[in-house]
Every structure is written in C-alpha cells, then in structure tokens.
Homo-oligomer: A and B are copies of this chain.
C-alpha cells in the first residue's frame, strides 16, 4: 500500500475551479493513483517545486535526478537521430526509455502535463526491443525503441482514456486505436498519457486533473487542447508526441511552448478507433491527427512511418497518400509566400509582429528563393463564426450532462467554446443549410486566394505568444485553416517575448474589431516575459508534402 503523500506538483497546476464533493474526491484519488505510479526516486524536492520561478526550464538540469548521459539522451537528438543511435547499437532502448520516463515525471511536477505514467510496461517493451535487435540484428521497425507520448483521449490498450470529462474516463481501453497500433508495430514504446482540457475543446489545457503550465512562464498557459504534449516536449520529457486539431489543438500549444507541430489535411493521419464522445463536430468539420516534436525532420519521419503503413487499407475512408518528402528535391523554383501581418480580424500582439518582421527581413535577403507577397485571408471573422456554430451540431445538452454526471464544474473556456451553440441539436435541414454555407465560404476563400498565386502562406499561430491562463478566446489564426481543411505547420523562432514590447499602432489594432481591442487589453494586462514565439506555414488542402518541402527551404534561410 502506498502512503498518503503525493508527488509534488507546481501549485498553479492545481489551481482549478472546484466541483461537487464527490468530484473532488474522485479527482484526489486520480491524482493519488498517478502519484503512486511514479517511483519516489523521481520526485523533486517539494520546496523546489513550490518555490519554482516562472521559467522552470532550468530546473530539470539542476535537479540532480538525471545523469549526464540521461541529459544527453533527452536533449541531443530528435526522433530520427535518436532511433538511428538505437538501431546502430550506440544506445539501448532501455536507457533511452528510462531517461525519458525520468524526465517526463520531472516535467510533470513543474507543469502538470501528465495524466498517466507506466514506466514498468515501457521498460518491458524497451527490453524486448533491445533483445530483438541483439538476437536478429534487425530493428523492430522505423521507430525501434523510441518512447512516444500520447494525448489522453487516444485509446492505448490497457490504459484509461477520457473525452475530456471525468465522467467519460473509462477504466482501460480494450484496444489500440489504428494510429497507436501502427506506431507500436513500428517499434515505438509508450510510457505516458498527457493532459488535455475539459471537453478537449480549449486552446488551453485545464482538465479534471491538472492545469498544464507553460514551462517558459508558468503564469501563461501551455496552450491546448494538446497542451500536455506541448509542455512535456518543450521540457524534453518527450521528443515525439501525438496530437489532434480541430481548431488549433496541435498548432496552438506547439506555438505556446516553442516546439514543432503539424496539422495535416484531414484523413491523412488516421483517427480510426478514436472515440468521438460528445464531440460530434465531424458531421461537418474534420478533426486531424498529427505529430508534435522537436524538429522538422521529426515531423517528416513521423509522416513517412504512418503513411508507409498504408492505413487506408484498414480504413478506406482515409486518403491514399505517399510521403516521399526527403528534402532532396526541395523546391527547385522560387516560392511565392503569402505574408500575413494580420488577418484583418485581430492584430497580433507585438512579439508576434516582431517575429514576422524578423522573418521578413531574412527572407527578403533570399530573393532568389523566396518572393514575399502581402496577403490577408478572406473574411476570417465570418469563417470563424461559421466554424464555431458547427462544432456542436448536437447542441450543448450532452456536453453539460457529461459535466453533471461527474459533478464537474464547467470551466470558463468551455462556456466560451459553446458561445455559438444552442441547447437543442440542429436538425438535418439546418445542417444541410450550414454545409451549404460552408461550401460557399470555402469557394469564396479559394477564389480570393487564387488571385495571389501563392505556394504557401506565412502567418501568425495565435493572436499573441502564449496567453495568460483562461484567456485563449480567439482561435482565428489556427481555426481558419480548419474550416478550410488546409495543412499548417508551426515552427519555433528565436524570438522570445520580454513582455515590454509595444504595439506600433495600438489605436489601429483596437479599431480593427471588438476582438482585436480585447486582445490589446489582454496584452496590456498580462505578463508575457519569456514566452517563445512560433510562426505558421500553411498550404492549400492536400499540398501537405509541398508545405513541408517549402518549410524546409524557409527554415534553411531563417536558421542560416
């Protein structure tokens, strides 16, 4: 039996609205259960956790809990290069898995990023990988021995999953979903499940378990819905994780935490076997799966592994897709890049503008490869309103029942997500009419886009860098690409917010729209010091391969 003590957690990660007594009891049990799975040897000193500075990124290295080798394993590689080390016998999967297990639970104590942890099972799988390699001389597959982190709602055999409510948390998934099963066959090791917000529909990450904090400034959100992954990967407790995105849930948190995140076009990465839960949005709007990781090469490698497995032969609703991107034939012609300083709806906060200007300056010097073209997407405000009205065609009754069933308080961002949702379900006439509006919007969006003759679009990821807790109201910079189902990839820049930046024209920003003026207020009220700033590259629907090729070219220029 375990004792009553539970693992130290940053108090801000526990700062959540209260539910009924039975909800609080259940929450306490879940936290205790997780804590009991984590060996005492991985616990930080309680004082270190409770007195942590806003920026917690240095604590892991200073904690003394990781060996030098473990620090090297977790910091020196991206997914493909780490797999290569293991396949070449330079590292064992047991050592690699141990290092990421240790680092993940330290990351969790600082940011509240995990909801489940299973070191024993992971080490057993890692040992088998090592033995297989030793005995056969062959790797298990292209992900041989690599620990991969998994967002809570994705079914992973033998582990609980939830659709964002305590009442939907099932004891144990009976089977892997298709995505997990492909990764497992490719040799991946599973060791953690990560936090996601209530209803899995915030651009932050506050679940019934934890609030996930931004490791660069814990007064800021890690972003969401795939926020647990983002904080974990930013702290190198993982170098490859799985996200889903229907409004920005891969790209938002990746941008907030300064990592790489890719939302492909829908039906490329399989969501087959993932529960829809109360989220019946896929009637009109497609959810997309994709990787969150520490390099462009990691994204490329992940996509190749998934698509080489030909998931469309298991689920014929998936697209037939090849992933030949190898960066070898990257972009022989000059790229026409649409440059979005603002989307005409909300002026981004100053650090985002600074990152855009930084990129423009560098790209302008590479005129042989890049032509920047000022571009504003078509009617972002209308598109977003339509999108939000389609997230819950079933109305809010079932969602609020799921909350009530668990005695769970409705978080303010859930209320915000439901702002265009009525109580009753839409009927088929209403859905058909909205689908027609959607089609109409998409055709007009493309008509406007076609005038610019662009290959890709360079744009903000969000209205600012990471936001203060409970203020991620505006999804426009990511969600416009969900309504279009266009692929988008966010990538880090060297820009960090100081918090002291000024708008070059605050009045103009305020006048753009009510929402834009509120974003100015949020900037003036918040503490953004240290927040990373990412940018986003977008391409037409199904130009996913070209997008990654183009990003390779752009990244080459920006990092030179």
Contact = CB atoms under 8 A, between A and B. Distances in A.
Given A320-B543, A426-B427, 13 more contacts: A280-B432, A283-B283, A283-B431, A283-B435, A312-B541, A314-B443, A314-B447, A315-B446, A316-B541, A317-B485, A319-B319, A393-B428, A394-B432
A156 B227 CA distance: 51
Contact of A425 (B394, B424, B428): B428
A276 B432 contact: yes
Interface in A424-465: 424-429, 431-432, 435-436, 439, 442-443, 446-447, 450
A542 interface: yes
A450 B313 contact: yes
A314 B317 CA distance: 23
Nearest to A316: B541
A331 interface: no
A424 B315 CA distance: 32
A494 interface: no
A446 B484 CA distance: 29
A395 interface: yes
A540 interface: yes
A315 B484 CA distance: 10
A424 B429 CA distance: 10
A272 interface: yes
Interface of A: 272, 276, 280, 282-283, 312-317, 319-320, 393-395, 398, 424-429, 431-432, 435-436, 439, 442-443, 446-447, 450, 484-486, 540-543
Contacts of A313: 446, 450, 540
A540 B543 CA distance: 23
23 contacts: A276-B436, A280-B429, A280-B432, A283-B283, A283-B428, A283-B432, A283-B435, A313-B450, A314-B443, A315-B443, A315-B446, A316-B485, A316-B541, A317-B439, A317-B541, A319-B319, A319-B542, A393-B428, A393-B432, A394-B432, A425-B428, A426-B427, A426-B428
A118 to B, nearest CB: 28
A274 to B, nearest CB: 11
A226 to B, nearest CB: 23
One complex includes copies of this chain to the number of 2
B541 A280 contact: no
A317 B542 contact: no
Nearest to A542: B320
Contacts of A540: 313, 316
Most chain B CB neighbours (cut-off 10 Å) among A314, A432, A442, A484: A432
A443 B313 CA distance: 10
Q: Which 7 A-B pairs have the closest CB atoms?
A: A393-B428, A425-B428, A280-B432, A425-B427, A316-B541, A394-B428, A320-B542
Nearest to A312: B542
Contacts of A394: 427-429, 432
A148 to B, nearest CB: 24
Contacts of A395: 428
Nearest to A484: B316
B484 A435 contact: no
A394 to B, nearest CB: 4
Contacts of A314: 443, 446-447, 450
A272 B443 contact: yes
